[in-house]
Amino acid sequence: MKVIELHKSVTESNDRDADKLREELREKGVFLINLMSSAGSGKTTMLSRTITDLKDRVNIAVLEADIDASVDAERIAALGATSIQVHTDGMCHMDAGMTREGLNNMDLDGTDIAFLENIGNLICPAEYDTGASCNVMILSVPEGDDKPLKYPLMFKSSDALLLSKIDALPYFDFSMEKLEERVRYLNPDIKIFPISAKTGEGMKEWEDWLLEELATWKRG
Amino acid sequence: MKVIELHKSVTESNDRDADKLREELREKGVFLINLMSSAGSGKTTMLSRTITDLKDRVNIAVLEADIDASVDAERIAALGATSIQVHTDGMCHMDAGMTREGLNNMDLDGTDIAFLENIGNLICPAEYDTGASCNVMILSVPEGDDKPLKYPLMFKSSDALLLSKIDALPYFDFSMEKLEERVRYLNPDIKIFPISAKTGEGMKEWEDWLLEELATWKRG
C-alpha cells in the first residue's frame, strides 16, 4: 500500500488554487466529492457499500486522508477500487494543494467519481476549499441531534447530509425532527439522506442522487 | 448565560505558559483536568453524572469550550455547578492562554476540580498543553475500536481513557480486546474505564480514580 506523506501547501491563496483544481478535474472528467464527518461516523463503510452497489455503472476512486494509519485505504483497495492513502503530517484538514498532490499519485484513467475522504472532524475540513465540486457530510445517530448547533459551518458548507447508522435509532435519544429543523435553519437547500450502510436502508436514494449529480456535472 | 469570545493567544511559547498556568492553579488549589474527545462521544452527559454523584464530596466546575452554541454550559449550570461557556472563534483547540482567560472569568472559590471540556475532535486538542495537571479522553463505542490507529497522539497524551456508551456494545461491531491492545501499545500506563453514563455502569471506578488523583495532586 502506497502512502503519500503530505506537508502544508505553500500556495498563496487556497481559494484560487481550489478553483484551478476544479478546472483541471473537469478536463480530466473526474467529479471530485469532498466527504467530511467526525471520526467514526462510518465514512469508509458507507463508501465501501456505495462502490459495491454502483460498480457496474460508475468507476469510483477514493483518496483517503488521515493523520496516521492506512486501514481505510486497505479496506477500499480490497473491493478492487482505485485508492490511495495520504498522511497529513498531523494537520486536521486537507486543502486544494494537498488534494492535488494526492490525486496526482493515482491512476484516474476511466474514473468517473473520486471521493476525498477528508480528515475525521467536524471543524477544520469545513474551512478549506479542497477543489471538490460537491461537499457531502456524514453525521451518525450516536453523535446526537445537537451537532448542527455546535458545528454550523460544516452543515452550511455541505450539499448533502448522510445521516448514518439509523439502524441504531432505537438505542439513542435522537430526534430526527429536531435534527432536520436545526439543519434546515442553517442550510435550507441541503439534501438529507437517512442511511444504514449495515442494513442497506436508504442507500438507494443516496446512490440515485449521486448519479444525478454526476450527470448534472457532466453536462457542465 | 455568560459567553466569552476567545481569540488566539499571542503568547510566544504555549508550553511555558502552560507551566505557568499549572503553578497559578496550584496556588489556588484548583485541580484542572483537560477532557478531550470527538464530537458526540458523551462528554457533557458523563460530566453531568460525575458532578451529581460526587456533589457531597467535591466541588466541580466546568469550562465549556466550543466553536459555537452554549447548550453544554446550560446543561451543567442546570445542575447547580459553576460553569462558563467560551467560544474559540472557529479554532479547533484550546491553548493555555485561552484556558486561563476562561478560568479568570469564573468564580473558583471553593472549587476542587475544574474540567476543561475541550473542543470536540481527536486531533488538534492533543497538540496543545492547556495547563491542566491531568488529561482524560473519551472514546465512545459507536466510534469504533480502530481509533487508536488513526489518532495516536490523543491516546498517547491521556492519563485515562473513558470508553463510553458501553450500553450500546451489543449493537456495534466493537472489540474491547482489540481496542485495549491498540491503546496499550501506544500508552502502556493509561487507565481504561468502560462506562455508561446512561446506566451508571463503571461510573464508580472512574469517580474513585478521580478522587484519588485529586488527593495525590493535593499532596503535591
Chain A residues with CB-CB distance to B140 below 8 A: 40, 142
Q: What is the pLDDT of residue B6?
A: 65
- Which chain A residues have any C-beta within 8 angstroms of a chain B C-beta? 38-40, 66-69, 71, 90, 92, 119-124, 127, 140, 142-144, 146-147, 149-153, 165, 167-168, 171-172
Percentage of chain A with pLDDT > 70? 95
Instruction: Report whether A112 contacts A31 (CB < 8 A).
Output: yes
Higher pLDDT, A182 or A150: A182
CA distance A214 to chain B (A): 30
Q: What is the pLDDT of residue A68?
A: 80
Q: What is the pLDDT of residue A91?
A: 85
pLDDT bin (cut points 50, 70, 90) of residue B71 is confident
Q: Give the type of residue at B174.
A: F
Q: Residues 6 or more apart from B17 whose CB is under 8 A from it?
A: B9, B11, B95, B96, B97, B100, B131
Burial class (CB in 10 A: 0-12, 13-18, 19+), B11: middle
Domain boundaries, chain A: 14-218
Across the range B92-120, mean pLDDT stands at: 94
**How far is residue B166's CA from residue B170's CA, in Å, rounded to a whole number?**
9
Nearest Cα residue to B154 out of B194, B182, B195: B182
Instruction: Report whether A23 contacts A124 (CB < 8 A).
Output: no
Mutate to test the interface with A, among B121, B141, B147 (most CBs of A within 10 A): B121
Average pLDDT, chain B: 92
Across the range A134-160, mean pLDDT stands at: 95
Q: What is the pLDDT of residue A73?
A: 86
pLDDT bin (cut points 50, 70, 90) of residue A70 is confident
Number of cross-chain residue pairs from A and B with Cβ atoms under 8 Å apart? 113
Across the range A68-89, mean pLDDT stands at: 87
Q: Is the pLDDT of residue A1 over 60?
A: no
Q: What is the pLDDT of residue A71?
A: 80
pLDDT bin (cut points 50, 70, 90) of residue B9 is low
Q: Is the pLDDT of residue B162 over 60?
A: yes
pLDDT bin (cut points 50, 70, 90) of residue B11 is low
Question: Is pTM beyond 0.90 here?
Answer: no
Q: What is the pLDDT of residue B2?
A: 61
State which fold the B3-7+14-218 domain adopts: Rossmann fold (3.40.50)
Dihedral of alpha carbons B160, B164, B169, B172, sign: negative
Q: What is the pLDDT of residue A6?
A: 65
**How far is residue A205's CA from residue A185's CA, in Å, rounded to a whole number?**
23
pLDDT bin (cut points 50, 70, 90) of residue A174 is very high
Q: Is the pLDDT of residue B72 over 60?
A: yes
Q: Considering only CA atoms, give the Rg of chain A.
A: 16
Instruction: Report whether B195 contacts B202 (CB < 8 A).
Output: yes
Across the range B112-124, mean pLDDT stands at: 94
Q: What is the pLDDT of residue A12?
A: 60
**How far is residue A150's CA from residue B66's CA, in Å, rounded to a whole number?**
7
Instruction: Report whether A99 contacts A21 (CB < 8 A).
Output: yes
Mutate to test the interface with B, among A151, A153, A198 (most CBs of B within 10 A): A151
pLDDT bin (cut points 50, 70, 90) of residue A7 is low
Average pLDDT, chain A: 92
Across the range B21-46, mean pLDDT stands at: 95
Question: pLDDT for B78-97, tens place per residue?
Answer: 998 999 999 887 888 999 99
**How far is residue B98's CA from residue B93's CA, in Å, rounded to a whole number?**
9
The residue of chain B with its CA nearest to that of A45 is B144
pLDDT bin (cut points 50, 70, 90) of residue A133 is very high
Q: Is the pLDDT of residue A182 over 60?
A: yes
State which fold the A14-218 domain adopts: Rossmann fold (3.40.50)
Across the range A60-89, mean pLDDT stands at: 89
Q: Is the pLDDT of residue B99 over 70?
A: yes
- Whether residues B149 and A39 touch (CB distance < 8 A) is answered with no
**How far is residue A160's CA from residue B23's CA, in Å, rounded to a whole number?**
48
Nearest Cα residue to A141 out of A191, A73, A198, A65: A198
